[in-house]
Amino acid sequence: MKEKQRGKASVIFQHPPFIIAAASVVGKKEGEGPLGQYFDQIEADSMLGKKTWEEAESELQTRAATLAIEKSGLKKEEIRYYFGGDLLAQLIATTFGVMNLEFPMFGIYGACSTMGEAMGLGSMVVEGGFADHVIVTASSHFASAEKQFRFPLEYGNQRPYSATWTVTGCGSVILSAGHGKNPLAKIAGVTTGKIVDMAFKDSMNMGAAMAMAALDTILTNFRDLAVDETYYDKIVTGDLGQIGRRLLLDYLVKAGYDIESRYMDCGIEIFRDETQDTHAGGSGCGCSASVLCAYLLPKIREGVWKRVLFVPTGALLSTVSYNEGKSVPGIAHAVILETCDGEQEG
Amino acid sequence: MKEKQRGKASVIFQHPPFIIAAASVVGKKEGEGPLGQYFDQIEADSMLGKKTWEEAESELQTRAATLAIEKSGLKKEEIRYYFGGDLLAQLIATTFGVMNLEFPMFGIYGACSTMGEAMGLGSMVVEGGFADHVIVTASSHFASAEKQFRFPLEYGNQRPYSATWTVTGCGSVILSAGHGKNPLAKIAGVTTGKIVDMAFKDSMNMGAAMAMAALDTILTNFRDLAVDETYYDKIVTGDLGQIGRRLLLDYLVKAGYDIESRYMDCGIEIFRDETQDTHAGGSGCGCSASVLCAYLLPKIREGVWKRVLFVPTGALLSTVSYNEGKSVPGIAHAVILETCDGEQEG
């Protein structure tokens, strides 16, 4: 079955799984950003009616997953596995968010690249014949992330311009072996990232920490598939922000690829720094996941972009390792999304 | 391709992946326990020559993975993906352990059930044709876990008899599409667990928190495959310990299955409580992973047990959610391991 394997780290599917539904739920600030009109739900209460930030993030997952299932037209019982993750220690936002849904469950951790990692595994599980439908979800919450990784919000600490703002949001997609009535996209293949460590030690500049991982995954994808940047209508990273963006583009030029005209970063798109005080951009698992569901997939369905390389990026930061003087390594996972042709009708 | 799917949550492989190599590295205390003679490496220095407990745990992963690759006779480049996880926030033991190995990488979190979750995904990826060989690794370290979940070791806090002792250890297996020269076992199928919450709130009695998850996964396995306990020569849980063991056995009897004569728990096997002061038993991702590699797989290869249901069990504990008054939910993932017949040569 080697024909599915390409090069060192890529897979091209013989029977591409379809994304038959997607849902996004975000917070107030994300709703006020440039993509506000595209999200399914904008929640004005940052606590989502719960008692803690962590419970609020769990509620994001419950809502996004429930809405994605509803949109798919499937019964919950028809969906075989839940692939989910978040940024918090021991994935508690996911645990308590998915618990009442009672799915057989795979917990995934890839920092902010989680949506890419989980979609990669989920699509292999579907294409391998192990499930007809799976649900893939990733979330983040500004306040639970600040608490986990930085300072209590009450400190009102200042953030350097290189810092990103963790998105309060969640994206959830249903991957299926069949295309259903009106699929959003098909997953043509995936490129799995490796950990890239640049001995980078500034936890307030995650974009730089992740840029080299994005570079590595994108170059691996080009090499494995024997293509260049023109193969894609759009190349979209997760949350590099302004600084990571510049680094990635510059290093790609050095490697012989000028992707700038077709490049986009979910973290840069989701906020308007001039008025929203978000500095380098948005970040968090929920950033690329919610922008995928709200903005990228509809554009792919409409054929505005026919082939997109979606590359969620993760900074493998932990307060424990960081305080012990360790670096912040990066990882990025790429998913090849294509417009469905002639498969819209069921 | 539905023929691979069984019932709600199980998969039976048409071309079972093989475990062609396995390696275990453990600490001094584990080496002094009843299974001491079976481990590949026993490290006398609990720091493994490193500066922090977390680095020590990373070193366990590096060593076990490197040894498993060596035993397999494969070149590192022939192994396509690394599936790995640990108990620490943001999987830092795995991140820094696997970094220099440069594998395309899937980070997995299932608490102490991680080895089961990762073997499930790894075997689907191999059987689906997406890789010829993958490596699956899970680790834990007593001191990094105490620091993460409980008290500084220097406090010398007392532990109730219901508490388990986190194993310092790591197990690593190579899963392959072909059986190689002398496979340890084949993976006939897997049953993926769901999160089971009993609203249980005693973080010093993880066995009880996990017992109901083990119960759910074992019953799901029986139901999905239309079998009973006699289908297996051995049913082996990860780290229920003495209290979780009793609960599981009693509830299974209530459900109509008496598995006691064929039951084993890795956590109970690995330590000798009378002299080692470990109380209810061993725990941690590294407990089931190292016992699998050192003890279970050789017994399966020899045909002492021809079919084993291996059920790593996880308690989804986090200090954040726990201190916010949340329960400790459990999850368990089952892997069906079988003796290879007539496949040893070739």
Sort out which chain B residues have CB atoms less than 8 A from A312's CB and list them.
none
Report the gap between the CA of A302 and the closest CA in chain B (Å): 30
Interface touch A109/B109, C-beta < 8 Å = yes
pLDDT band of residue B2 (cuts 50, 70, 90) is low
Kindly identify which residue of chain A lies nearest to residue B116, measuring between CA atoms: A106
Report the gap between the CA of B89 and the closest CA in chain A (Å): 4
**Best CA proximity match to A168, nearest among A297, A293, A284:** A284
The H or E element that residue B70 is part of is helix B53-72
- Give the pLDDT confidence score for residue B346 in this predicted structure: 39
* Count of Cβ atoms closer than 10 Å to residue A4 Cβ: 19
Report the gap between the CA of B312 and the closest CA in chain A (Å): 14
**Best CA proximity match to B87, nearest among B109, B65, B107:** B109
In the beta sheet, which residues pair with residue B186?
B18, B338
Interface touch A106/B108, C-beta < 8 Å = yes
Cα dihedral sign for A274, A277, A281, A286? negative
Is B79 within 8 Å of B69 (Cβ atoms)? Answer: yes
Interface touch A321/B105, C-beta < 8 Å = no
The single residue listed with the structure tokens 């990232």 is: A193
Would an 8 Å CB–CB cutoff place A193 in contact with chain B?
yes
Sort out which chain B residues have CB atoms less than 8 A from A128's CB and list them.
1, 4, 124-125, 127-130
B226: alpha, beta or left? (left if phi > 0; alpha if psi -120 to 50): left
Strand, coil or helix: B319:
helix
Is B138 within 8 Å of B215 (Cβ atoms)? Answer: no
Q: Which domain holds residue B292?
A: 1-346
d(CA A145, CA A53): 9
d(CA A184, CA A292): 11
> Which of A96, A107, A316 is closest, CB to CB, to B90?
A316
The H or E element that residue B125 is part of is helix B114-127
Backbone phi and psi for residue B184, each to the nearest 5 degrees, phi listed first = -80, -40
Sort out which chain A residues have CB atoms less than 8 A from B51's CB and list them.
324
| Mean pLDDT of all residues in B278-294 | 97
CATH of the domain at A255: 3.40.47.40
Kindly identify which residue of chain B lies nearest to residue A189, measuring between CA atoms: B130
> Which of B11, B98, B110 is closest, CB to CB, to A195?
B98
Kindly identify which residue of chain A lies nearest to residue B119, measuring between CA atoms: A106
Q: What type of residue is A266?
A: C
pTM for this one? 0.97
Kindly identify which residue of chain B lies nearest to residue A128, measuring between CA atoms: B128
d(CA A345, CA B129): 30
Kindly identify which residue of chain A lies nearest to residue B198, measuring between CA atoms: A99
- Give the pLDDT confidence score for residue B152 in this predicted structure: 87
Backbone phi and psi for residue A19, each to the nearest 5 degrees, phi listed first = -95, 105
Longest dimension (CA), chain B: 56
Report the gap between the CA of B127 and the closest CA in chain A (Å): 7
Which residues 138-157 of A have a C-beta within 8 angstroms of B? 147-148
> Which of A88, A89, A108 is closest, CB to CB, to B107?
A108
pLDDT band of residue B1 (cuts 50, 70, 90) is very low
Would an 8 Å CB–CB cutoff place B181 in contact with chain A?
no
> In this structure, what DSSP letter does residue B295 have?
I
Kindly compute the dihedral angle of the four CA atoms of residues B255, B261, B266, B268, in this order, to the nearest 10 degrees. 100
How much is the ipTM here?
Answer: 0.97
Query: pLDDT by residue (tens digit) across B20-42?
Result: 999 999 999 999 999 999 999 99
Q: What is the mean pLDDT of each run of 10 residues along chain A (346 residues)?
A: 86 98 98 98 97 97 98 97 96 94 97 98 98 98 93 88 95 96 96 94 89 98 98 98 97 98 98 93 97 98 98 94 92 98 58
Interface touch B108/A103, C-beta < 8 Å = no
Q: Say what percent of chain B tops pLDDT 70.
A: 98
> Which of B109, B148, B193 is closest, CB to CB, to A91?
B109
- Give the pLDDT confidence score for residue B209 in this predicted structure: 87
Instruction: Indicate the number of domains in chain A.
Output: 1
d(CA A283, CA A238): 8
- Give the pLDDT confidence score for residue A211 in this predicted structure: 97
Interface touch B192/A104, C-beta < 8 Å = yes
Would an 8 Å CB–CB cutoff place B66 in contact with chain A?
no
d(CA A179, CA A270): 29
Length of chain B: 346
Strand, coil or helix: B254:
helix
Would an 8 Å CB–CB cutoff place A121 in contact with chain B?
yes
